[in-house]
């Protein structure tokens, strides 16, 4: 493909990983494969310049993006990431995975994603607020409660969603709670949203375990990334009798064959902003994380972490993808050939967007549900979505990722076909 095209790939990058995943699903799409090219082309990509005045009086410019990959099934939905490595290509891939995820779980959404190329840890709170507000204003052209609804992702949280909601509301002249999800409870946020992605990782882990006769009680779990997703998933696994034997984040890797103390990990995270110096744990070199034996390995940091080289060393039974795009296609094949069950991101981490959907529905109705009701509905939707994917995998004798793509892409392309092409 011509390197100047916006859909050109960088070898080994997230967009290349996504395109390879699409290639694998096409043979299973039947007559809908006629529409497959739509999956390879983001519908709309907006690049914005974000100038802000820093606390020291200097002016800095940041790059921001919002990509709407596919809107055939409904408004765009997907998080916003603040990270120094954010690129258009990465946001494109993340938006495409949202299209697939929303369809895999059968939520009435298309897929979108956004990001700013910034290390937010280097900004003051005031600078972070200015950055968020100007970004929101710039992408205000294409977002809205019935157009595209952002949510938190890496390095963004409820406070950032509150600023986004306020900025959008100021610009349209009315309080629009439904423009973002993952908001504080007082501003139309939903109970259960904060831990919903981690809860979903656990629910799907439990569904898998049941089908392969693997007890959670006593299972060894290794977790990469101890942020929103990784910490909530680890807490639930530990609460159900599993041993968290290794945890890695950007501050280091800690190990304990008898299980790390979750309360201690949480306290260390609150104190240091990372778990690298957790008391009572052995600190091991980062690369050794991939040699730790486990029953569940949960990547919950960034994409591209499970490389072919690491896949060869990994000794686990189930890879539960909490992160988006953590496994490159070649590593996927290595793991599958070794008999490791890889449970793809598009179902394993769909708990977050599912409760985001609940939040949006509650905002529209201005009627709010109890946490029990939310968790019950979440479990029901995820278990049902997983059942369909599992059965599709068994039927075609294909890995779960391809099965999830078959279920999702059939829904997306069916909608595309029924809508027809405009004009």
Check the annotation: does 197 bind a ligand: yes
Mask 252-291, x = binds ligand NAD (CB under 6 A)?
----------------------x-----------------
Residue among 35 and 226 whose Cβ is closer to ligand NAD: 226
Under the binding rule (CB under 6 A), the answer on residue 249 touching ligand NAD is: yes
Number of residues that bind ligand NAD (CB under 6 A): 24
Beta strands in 109-213 (DSSP E): 111-117, 148-152
- List 160, 164, 229, 385, residue binding ligand NAD (CB under 6 A): 229
Residue nearest to ligand NAD according to CB distances in the complex: 227
Q: Do the bridges between strand 243-249 and strand 220-224 make them parallel or antiparallel, or are there none, so unpaired?
A: parallel
Alpha carbon separation from 128 to 120, 236, 240, 257, 337 (Å, rounded): 7, 32, 38, 40, 45
CA-closest candidate to residue 27, choices 423, 294, 410 = 410
Q: Which of 267, 396, 353 is nearest to 74 (CA)?
A: 353
CA 386/CA 350 separation, integer angstroms: 10
| Selected range binding ligand NAD among 138-146, 219-227, 254-262, 403-411, rule: CB under 6 A | 219-227
Cβ-based nearer residue to ligand NAD, 38 or 224: 224
Question: Hey, which residues between 176 and 205 contact ligand NAD (CB under 6 A)?
Answer: 197
Among 300, 319, 320, 398, binds ligand NAD (CB under 6 A): 300
Minimum gap (Å) between residue 151 Cβ and ligand NAD = 7
Q: Is 107 exposed, middle or buried (0-12, 13-18, 19+ CB in 10 A)?
A: buried
Query: ω before 314 within 30° of 0 (cis)?
Result: no
228 has binding-site annotation: yes
- Residue 95 lies near ligand NAD (rule: CB under 6 A): no
Cα–Cα distance for residue pair 383/380, rounded to 1 Å:
5
* Stretch binding ligand NAD (CB under 6 A), from 119-127, 139-147, 300-308, 383-391: 300-308
Cβ atoms of 305 and 211 within 8 Å: the answer is no
Interface with ligand NAD (CB under 6 A), residue from 29, 131, 323, 404: 323
The Cα angle at residue 198 between residues 320 and 90, in degrees rounded to 5: 70
Task: Single out the residue of 148, 153, 235, 332 in contact with ligand NAD (rule: CB under 6 A).
Answer: 153
Please select the residue that binds ligand NAD; options are 177, 268, 324, 375, rule is CB under 6 A. 324
Is residue 113 annotated as part of the catalytic site, yes or no? yes
Our finding on whether 87 is near ligand NAD (CB under 6 A) is no
Does the footprint of ligand NAD cover residue 248 (CB under 6 A)?
yes
In the complex, minimum distance from the CB of residue 287 to ligand NAD, in angstroms, rounded to a whole number: 11
Question: 175: which DSSP letter?
Answer: -
Q: How far apart are CA 405 and CA 423, in angstroms?
A: 28
- From the list 37-45, 115-123, 319-327, 336-344, the region that binds ligand NAD by CB under 6 A is 319-327
CB 17 within 8 A of CB 89: no
**Residue 10 is labelled as binding a ligand:** no
Position 228 contacts ligand NAD (CB under 6 A): yes
Residue 49 forms beta bridges with which residues?
A: 63
Nearer to ligand NAD, 145 or 274 (CB): 274
What contacts 303, CB < 8 A, 6 or more positions away? 14, 17, 90, 93, 94, 323, 324, 325, 326
Q: Look at residue 126 and give its three-state secondary structure.
A: helix
Residue 142 C-beta: closest distance to ligand NAD, Å: 21
Q: Is 70 annotated as a binding residue?
A: no
Q: Is 298 left (phi over 0), alpha (psi -120 to 50) or beta?
A: beta
> Considering the rule CB under 6 A, would residue 223 count as an interface residue with ligand NAD?
no
Q: Does 320 bind ligand NAD (CB under 6 A)?
A: no
- Measured torsion, CA atoms of residues 310, 315, 318, 323, in degrees rounded to the nearest 10: -30
Stretch that binds ligand NAD, among 84-92, 221-229, 334-342, 390-398 (CB under 6 A): 221-229
Interaction of residue 155 with ligand NAD, rule CB under 6 A: yes
Question: Which spans of this chain sit near ligand NAD (rule: CB under 6 A)?
Answer: 152-155, 197, 224-230, 248-250, 274, 300-302, 322-324, 349, 352
Q: Binding site membership: which residues?
A: 77, 101, 197, 228, 356
- Which residues are designated catalytic? 113
């Amino acid at each position: 493909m011509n390197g100047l095209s916006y859909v050109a790939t960088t070898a080994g990058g997230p967009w290349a990983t996504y395109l390879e995943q699409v290639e694998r699903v096409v043979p299973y799409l039947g007559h809908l494969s006629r529409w497959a090219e739509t999956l390879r082309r983001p519908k709309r990509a907006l690049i914005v310049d974000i100038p802000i005045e820093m606390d020291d009086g200097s002016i800095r410019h940041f790059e921001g993006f919002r990509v709407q990959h596919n809107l055939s099934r409904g408004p765009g939905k997907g998080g916003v990431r603040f990270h120094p490595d954010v690129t258009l290509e990465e946001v494109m891939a993340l938006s495409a995975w949202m299209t697939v995820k929303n369809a895999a779980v059968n939520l009435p959404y298309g897929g979108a994603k956004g990001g700013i190329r910034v290390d937010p840890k280097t900004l003051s709170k005031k600078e972070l607020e200015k950055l968020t507000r100007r970004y929101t204003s710039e992408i205000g052209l294409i977002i809205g409660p019935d157009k595209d609804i952002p949510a938190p992702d890496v390095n963004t949280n409820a406070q950032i969603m509150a600023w986004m909601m306020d900025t959008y509301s100021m610009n349209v002249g009315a309080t629009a709670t439904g423009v973002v999800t993952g908001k504080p409870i007082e501003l139309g946020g939903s109970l259960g949203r904060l831990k919903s992605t981690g809860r979903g990782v656990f629910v799907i882990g439990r569904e898998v375990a049941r089908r392969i006769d693997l007890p959670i009680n006593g299972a060894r779990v290794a977790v990469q990334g101890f942020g929103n997703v990784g910490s909530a998933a680890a807490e639930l696994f530990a609460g159900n009798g599993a041993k968290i034997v290794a945890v890695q984040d950007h501050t280091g890797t800690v190990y304990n064959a008898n299980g790390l103390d979750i309360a201690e990990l949480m306290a260390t995270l609150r104190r240091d902003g990372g778990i690298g110096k957790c008391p009572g744990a052995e600190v091991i070199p980062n690369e050794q994380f991939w040699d730790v034996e486990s029953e569940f390995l949960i990547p919950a940091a960034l994409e591209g972490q499970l490389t072919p080289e690491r896949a060869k060393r990994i000794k686990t039974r189930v890879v539960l993808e909490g992160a988006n795009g953590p496994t490159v296609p070649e590593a996927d094949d290595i793991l599958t050939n070794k008999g490791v069950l890889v449970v793809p991101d598009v179902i394993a981490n769909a708990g977050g967007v599912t409760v985001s959907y609940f939040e949006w529905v509650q905002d529209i109705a201005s009627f709010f549900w109890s946490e029990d009701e939310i968790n019950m509905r979440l479990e029901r939707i995820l278990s049902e979505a997983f059942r369909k994917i599992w059965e599709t995998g068994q039927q075609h004798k294909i890995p779960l990722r391809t099965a999830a793509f078959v279920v999702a892409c059939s829904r997306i392309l069916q909608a595309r076909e029924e809508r027809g092409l405009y004009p």
